[in-house]
Chain A
Amino acid sequence: MTPLGALFYLLAAVLLGAAVLAATRRNPVHAVCCAVAVFLSAGGLMAVLGAPLPGVLMAVVYAGAIMVLFLFIIMLLGLTAGDGPLPTGRLVVPATLAAATLVALFALIGADPTGARLLPAAMAAPAAVGRVLFDTYWLAVEAVSILLFAALAAALLLGRGRSGGRAQPTGGPAA
């Protein structure tokens, strides 16, 4: 096994372990920590596979921003750890869904003969990734970003509530 291969399996093991822990922790903050470990090791996996850009983006966006927001909300709401054993009943539906997806994924890979072929090692330079994203697939990227924007606007609208009134500013030059 090459050193890179060893690193790959190490990171994969960390990822799986952290993912299991993240799903089973009763303490929300511990779960967040495990999720961060998942994202970091996923980023590491991508870097090992020759794509440092998405790997780092994984760390910046998921671990560095989104999970911080989760943590922020947990701290703001003062969520405490649940007690007692894990409510396994609640986990059945998502677990079966996830398992089904995994089986389907493997089936698809198995069905497609190209899926089983080993690809030559490649290095995805940031410039190459950018060119693919914004030259070849610019339409899709823009469409997705507009979709995200629409979702954001909708969330804002829903969050405002029915009153329609503007929230009172609590400071600034006006106060």
Chain B
Amino acid sequence: MDMLLGVVVMLVKMAVVLGVALGLAAYMILLERKLLGRFQVRYGPNRVGYFGLLQPLADGLKMLLKEDIIPDGVDRRIFLVAPAVVAGTALAAFAVVPFGDGLTLFGHRVPQVVVDSNVGLLLVLALSSLAVYGLALGAWTSDNKYSLLGGIRGAAQMISYELALGLSLVPVVMHARSLSLSDIVAAQAGLPFALLEPVAFVIFIIGSLAETKRVPFDLPEAENELQAGFHTEYSGMRFALFFVGEYVNMVLLGAVTAIFFLGGWHGPFLPPIVWLALKVLAVPVFLIWTRASLPRLRYDQLMALGWKVLIPLALLNILVTGALLAAGV
């Protein structure tokens, strides 16, 4: 009976997390289009429903009804699977993201996370590094020069920035003394790590911008150079998977940033879930703001920033944090 209950609770949690993540991602697209519109002194979509609120549904329907074109000369199996890898890894990472201290339902303690893994932080990193395959394989198999260039850029960019990203999280782990996301949030009950580790925070934000392939690091898709980069040849729902994957990634990034650096659901006055939602949304809004503000980096600038600035800085930051912790400050 208990086991059955556990399974049911697990399924419910999965459904909730999936639904919330996908819904947020869909409305993130609308938010981005609206905000970007206002940043550019125009309205953005406002026709479907009030304020364009039904636009994501309309877009989804449109994408579903479009023809799924498989170009000649592509490697069919890889071509068909690649978009799912991008969206799938992004969604899977939500499994380890906690969204509360835990509830007590009917006398049972229910942790508010799908899997509270003691290597949660590494799992997030692993899944984000696996997302490269969707991009690189999709690009390679498209049999298109622009796609290939986009894929090569994407692969190189994501490997380089993953390093900085991982290193920027080391001080967080050093403070929290755990790789579990719940423990990391618990360690920030007092001061969020963004204030304790501002350098790591900045590196993390820059690195994750690059990981999500957003402006100013959108070289893999670079519309004005590569048409659409790695997803040039994709259409219909497969393209939508790439697209939704990007926005799920944005939401994931918001969640992960909130948990690693912004103190998760901790905050005064408001209920915890509201705090978490605010923090989760703050990051994508910042990303959209960035997209409106900054031009794209050149490729060599991108690599120089990653290898010559961020990684040494992250290493130095680890050393300093370690020294301070050892000194017992």
A–B direct touch, CB within 8 Å, in complex?
Answer: yes
Binds B, one of A55-63, A102-110, A147-155: A55-63
Check A19 for interface membership: any CB of B closer than 8 A. Answer: no
Bound-complex Cα distance A72 to B154 (A): 9
Interface residues on B, range: 35 or more
Q: B residues 158-188 with Cβ under 8 Å of A? A: 158-159, 162, 166, 177-179
- Say whether A29 contacts B78, CB under 8 Å: yes
Q: Across the interface, name the chain B residue whose C-beta is closest to A60.
A: B126
Partner of A60, one of B125, B155, B300: B125
Given contacts A33-B78, A75-B136, contact A52 B152 (CB under 8 A): no
Chain B nearest CB, measured from A5 CB (Å): 17
Check B151 for interface membership: any CB of A closer than 8 A. Answer: yes
Bound-complex Cα distance A29 to B140 (A): 9
- Say whether B155 contacts A171, CB under 8 Å: no
Specify which of A55, A64, A75 lies most central, judged by the most chain B CB atoms within 10 Å of its CB.
Answer: A64
For A63, list chain B residues within 8 Å (CB): 126, 129-130
For A29, list chain B residues within 8 Å (CB): 75, 78, 137, 140-141
Q: A residues 144-172 with Cβ under 8 Å of B? A: 170-172
- Say whether A126 contacts B118, CB under 8 Å: yes
Given contacts A29-B140, A33-B137, A56-B123, contact A75 B151 (CB under 8 A): yes
Given contacts A29-B78, A33-B78, A76-B152, contact A126 B140 (CB under 8 A): no
- Say whether B78 contacts A172, CB under 8 Å: no
Bound-complex Cα distance A60 to B125 (A): 7
Given contacts A29-B137, A56-B122, A72-B159, contact A64 B129 (CB under 8 A): yes
- Say whether B126 contacts A56, CB under 8 Å: yes
Q: Across the interface, name the chain A residue whose C-beta is closest to B166.
A: A60
Partner of B137, one of A59, A69, A71, A76: A71
For chain B, what secondary structure do more than half of its interface residues adopt (helix, strand, loop), or is it mixed? Answer: helix
Specify which of A27, A53, A68, A71 lies most central, judged by the most chain B CB atoms within 10 Å of its CB.
Answer: A68
Bound-complex Cα distance A171 to B300 (A): 6
Q: Across the interface, name the chain A residue whose C-beta is closest to B77.
A: A30
Bound-complex Cα distance A172 to B300 (A): 7
Chain A nearest CB, measured from B144 CB (Å): 12
Chain A nearest CB, measured from B207 CB (Å): 14
Q: A residues 9-55 with Cβ under 8 Å of B? A: 27, 29-30, 33, 36, 52-53, 55
Check A65 for interface membership: any CB of B closer than 8 A. Answer: yes
Partner of A172, one of B132, B140, B158, B304: B304
Chain B nearest CB, measured from A56 CB (Å): 4
Bound-complex Cα distance A56 to B124 (A): 10
- Say whether A75 contacts B155, CB under 8 Å: yes
- Say whether A52 contacts B162, CB under 8 Å: no
Contact with A along B2-25 (1 / 0, CB 8 A): 000000000000000000000000
For A53, list chain B residues within 8 Å (CB): 119, 122, 179
The chain B residues found within 8 Å of chain A, CB to CB, are 75, 78, 117-119, 122-123, 125-126, 129-130, 132-133, 136-137, 139-141, 148, 151-152, 155-156, 158-159, 162, 166, 177-179, 298-301, 304
8 contacts between A and B (CB under 8 A): A29-B75, A52-B118, A56-B122, A60-B122, A71-B137, A72-B159, A75-B152, A171-B300
- A64-B125, A71-B136, A72-B159 known; 12 other A-B pairs, CB under 8 Å? A29-B78, A52-B118, A56-B123, A60-B122, A63-B129, A71-B155, A72-B152, A72-B156, A75-B139, A126-B118, A127-B177, A171-B298
